[in-house]
Amino acid sequence: MSFQNPVFIPGPTNIPESLRKACDMPTIDHRSPLFGQILHPARAGVREILKSDSAEVFIFPSTGTGGWETALTNTLSAGDKVLTARNGMFSHRWIDMCQRHGLNVEIVETPWGDGLPADRYEEILAADKNHEIKAVLATHNETATGVKSDIAAVRRALTAAQHPALLFVDGVSSIASMDFRFDEWGVDVAVTGSQKGFMLPAGLAIVGFSQKAMEATKTGTLPRTFFDVRDMTKGYANNAYPYTPAVGLMNGLNQACSMLLSEGLENVFARHHRIAEGVRAAVGAWGLELCASSPAVYSDTVSAIRTPNGFNATDIVTHAAEKYGVAFGVGLGEVAGKVFRIGHLGSLTDVMALSGIATAEMCMVDLGLNIDLGSGVAAAQEYYRGHPGCVQKNAA
C-alpha cells in the first residue's frame, strides 16, 4: 500500500479528488461547441473570483511565469520604463523577465520581509512628469517570504500622482485564496496559475486584462506569438484556441471555480486566514519568527519561518521529506537556508494543517532545535478550538 501525506509547499497544492476526476476526461474536439461549454464557464468563474465585472480572462497552457510574459509582451514596447520593487524571489524573477525583454526597469530595493513601498512608488510616479513609466508591477503575495502587499495602496499611489501607468499584479499565490479585488483596486493585468488557489495541477496561466490593458495591446510592440491575447480573443469567439488547449485542466478549472464559489469567496478567505493564524500561533510557541516583518504583511497562504543563526533551515525540509514523507518549502534566494516555508493554501483544513505543524515540530526536535514537542501543535489547537470553521462534509 502506498500512502500520500498532504503537501505543505506553497504550490502546487493538494488536489481534491473531484478536481482530479474533472481533469481526467475523454478527448473532445477542442474546436467544437462542446469545448465552449468548458471554456466560457471557466472564464466567467475566474472573472468572478477576480471580483471583476469586465476583465477579459485568458487561459493559456502555461504557468504563472507565462502569465507574466503575457502581461508584458501584450502591452509594452522595448525600452519602455516600468516601476517595481524587489522584495523577494518572485518579484526578482519578474524584474529579470522585464530586463530580458529590453524594458527599462526602475527597481525600488526593498528588504525581503517587507511589503511593497507604495509611498515610494507615489514619489517616483509624481516625479515622472512626462509619464515615461508605462507600467507598475506589484507582487501581491511574495511566496518566497510569506509577505502580502497592499495593492489598494499601490493604486492610491497611482491615483495621487495622477499617473496613467498600467498596474500589473502577480496574484499567483493569492488569487482564489486571499482577497483580491480586480475592479476595486483598478488592476490592469492580474496573473495567476492553476496550481495554487485553484487546487489543480500546474499547466495553466490564468490572466485578467482590464479594458485599458486591452487598449494597450494595440500599441505595445514587444514580440508575442504564443501569448498573443489578440489571437486568443479571436479563438474564443469561435469556442476555440489559436492552438491546442489543455482541455482536461480547463475542465478542472471550471469545477474549481464552482467549488470556490459555492464555498463562498469570503469563506475561502476566512478559512485561509484561520489556518494561517494557527500556523502563526505555532511559530510563536516555538519561539521562532516569521520572515514577514509585521502582522500587516503576514500572508495567509504561506509562512516563511526563520530558524536560529547557524542552523540550515533547508535541513528541516530535507529531513521532513526523507523521514516523514512530508513536503515543506525551502528558502529561496536571499533567504535560502535561513527560512523554511509552510504552505497553507488550497484544499486544506485545520486538521490537515495540524499534521503539518506536528511534522515540522518533529523535524526541528530531531535536528536538535530547542523546541518542546507539542508546543506548536498545542498553540494551533487552542487557536482552532477558539475559532472553529465550517466542517467540510464532503471535502472530495
Ligand X SMILES: Cc1ncc(COP(=O)(O)O)c(C=O)c1O
Chain residues in the site for ligand X (CB under 6 A) = 11, 63-65, 90, 139, 141, 143, 170, 172-173, 193, 202
Smallest separation (angstroms) from ligand X to the CB of 282 = 22
- What the block records as the C-alpha cell of 382 is 487552542
Cα–Cα distance measured from residue 9 to residue 292, given in angstroms and rounded to the nearest whole number: 17
Smallest separation (angstroms) from ligand X to the CB of 114 = 16
Nearer to ligand X, 65 or 375 (CB): 65
Please answer whether residues 280 and 307 qualify as being in contact, where contact means their C-beta atoms are separated by less than 8 angstroms.
no
Cα–Cα distance measured from residue 298 to residue 294, given in angstroms and rounded to the nearest whole number: 7
Smallest separation (angstroms) from ligand X to the CB of 168 = 12
- Alpha-carbon torsion 209, 210, 214, 219, what sign? negative
Nearer to ligand X, 45 or 64 (CB): 64
Cα–Cα distance measured from residue 29 to residue 273, given in angstroms and rounded to the nearest whole number: 41
- What the block records as the C-alpha cell of 2 is 502506498
β-pairing verdict for 141-142 and 289-290: unpaired
CA distances to 114, 139, 268, 272 from 177, in Å: 20, 15, 6, 6
- What the block records as the C-alpha cell of 150 is 497592499
Nearer to ligand X, 161 or 166 (CB): 166
Q: What is the CA radius of gyration of the chain?
A: 21
Q: Which residue is nearest to ligand X (CB)?
A: 64
Smallest separation (angstroms) from ligand X to the CB of 184 = 21
Nearer to ligand X, 115 or 376 (CB): 115
Nearer to ligand X, 74 or 173 (CB): 173
The Cβ-side half-sphere exposure at 60, using a 13 Å CA radius, reads: 25
Smallest separation (angstroms) from ligand X to the CB of 208 = 15
Cα–Cα distance measured from residue 134 to residue 252, given in angstroms and rounded to the nearest whole number: 35
Nearer to ligand X, 171 or 186 (CB): 171
Smallest separation (angstroms) from ligand X to the CB of 173 = 4
